[in-house]
Chains A and B, each alone.
Chain A
Amino acid sequence: MISALSRVFPIATVVAAIMVVWYGFTVYLNSPWQIDRYEKAGIEWQMGDLVRDTMAHDRPVLPAPHQIAIEIWKTTVEKKITSKRSLIFHGSVTLSSTLLGFAMGTILGIGLAVSIVENRAMDKSLMPWIITSQTIPILAIAPMIIVVLNAVGLSGLVPKAMISTYLSFFPVVVGMVKGLRSPDPMHIDLMRTYNSSRLHMFWKLRLPASVPFLFASMKVAIAISLVGAIVGELPTGAVAGLGARLLAGSYYGQTIQIWSALISAACMAAILVTVVSVISHVTLKRMGLRA
């Protein structure tokens, strides 16, 4: 009980502080426009009026937290999932391409890592390219890639997932290579004294040793996959997904909509990372590794 409280308390304090600052900025950032309106209309105003009115704009510079909360409530609970205005609909579009991209990235990453560790030539030839691949500012050119892929007939889920794959395979390769190479030289010698085959060396030593590294990479990979999926939804023409919501919101100055999409994306990222963490924790525990 005490320990639960002592864990919640610091978090609650930070959240409360953020809220106070946020509300402060809401009033501050929205007041020039509001004061301008008071003056044009010749309305006498008090500080209390200003605070109330700056938090009730339709298209505020910065919406107040409760406005975002109400918007999220309206677009999730009070909308049918099939509706184009449902945040759950858009969220699930983003989620499916995130998960597809993450799965492909993880498989690709593991495959590359295995071939790098098991094959000296691959190590020499592949690794520089993998590093180089990440120097391309994919996030900046992602919209272009989506447009190009659309032009060649690839549209919908797959192109977006490919952006996620491109981003997420990298941490997996790096972590997995490190993991597959993590066994102690003594353990490798041990296997040699058993006249172990390469295959046994891999299955019974390298692969299990790499599992903690894999999970650590997957936590990074899934978060970055979500970023990739959202960026992939930004180009004009994208009609669904949190990224499309962001873009549409910014076209029409719907700041509340932008912020609710942002907050939803952040929550989704937190949930995804937590899910991977929990799976990691359970798996490592079952393996007898103290996670």
Chain B
Amino acid sequence: MTSKTTRSKVIEAEKLGLTFDANDGPVHALKDVDLAIEKGDFVSFIGPSGCGKTTLLRVIADLEHPTAGSITVNGMTPEQARLERAYGYVFQAPALLAWRTIERNIGLPLEIMGLSAAEKADRVARTLELVGLDGFGRKFPWQLSGGMQQRASIARALAFDADLLLMDEPFGALDEIVRDHLNEQLLQLWKKTGKTICFVTHSIPEAVYLSNKIVVMSPRPGRVTDIIESDLPAERPLDIRESKRFLEIAQRVRTGLREGHSYE
């Protein structure tokens, strides 16, 4: 975390705001969000539901348009970044197409990019292996468990091979053991590929375990209340979660969440 100035900014937001016009009045999903994410960061966004985590990720992905402030992705507008296919997005649900096999689901973005069949097959095989799904390529989504489906959707985002990965509570619906396993795999992958990852979660241990930067958010209006830089070592066995340093960081996240949360 020493060479901050030399690393390029992947995402920069200033006074970013987004207000939805709902039927029962405006909803301030995001307000005055300042954020800088550098290349190679693993950033977790944590906060109670409704604090704008998904909205923020969608703004980065150009799926939602901010109503105030500014944001750049790779130095471009989010729209330009999207048109250049600068990021892979993993949704909260696997969002696999039911009529395509796992292989062809992963190949979908590659077809759209117009890759050659050989290149496509190669990337599909590689990413299937990366998420531990080799041998399941010919199966249809319904033949796989929820955890495997979510891994397939991660493989799909990886096959896309963008330097930025946006993940919206990808493991939210999975049980603890599968989740631990996928967390480990995701960390491995991050180390191996050096991608920049934005990861939404509402689990404190997950956020602390995975990230080198934790963005704590609070609702009404959705805003960033704390940004915590984690100095946990790059090598993180699962039992690091019992270490003193881990618990200290977790405590700080918890405090941040509590302060931002009003129980009216």
Contacts and interface: CB of A to CB of B under 8 A. Distances in A.
Chief secondary structure at chain A's binding surface: helix
B99 A193 contact: no
B215 interface: no
A287 B142 contact: no
A290 interface: yes
B109 A194 contact: yes
Interface string B80-110: 0011110111010101011111000000110
B99 A208 contact: yes
Given A193-B61, A193-B82, A193-B89, A289 B98 contact: yes
A53 interface: no
Given A189-B63, A290-B142, A194 B113 contact: yes
B160 interface: yes
B112 interface: yes
A208 B112 contact: no
Interface string B224-249: 00000000000000000000000000
Contact of A184 (B58, B95, B113, B160): B95
B88 A193 contact: yes
B140 interface: yes
Interface string A180-203: 000010110111111111001000
A209 B112 CA distance: 17
A276 interface: no
A289 B99 contact: yes
Interface residues of A, number: 22
B112 A204 contact: yes
A194 B85 contact: yes
Contact of B108 (A195, A204, A290): A204
A193 B63 contact: yes
Nearest to A183: B97
Contact of A288 (B62, B63, B140): B140
Contacts of A211: 99
A205 interface: yes
B113 A288 contact: no
A288 B95 contact: no
A201 to B, nearest CB: 9
B97 A205 contact: yes
Interface of A: 184, 186-187, 189-197, 200, 204-205, 208-209, 211, 287-290
Given A189-B89, A194-B85, A204-B97, 11 more contacts: A186-B93, A190-B89, A193-B87, A194-B160, A196-B112, A204-B108, A205-B97, A209-B99, A211-B99, A287-B99, A289-B99
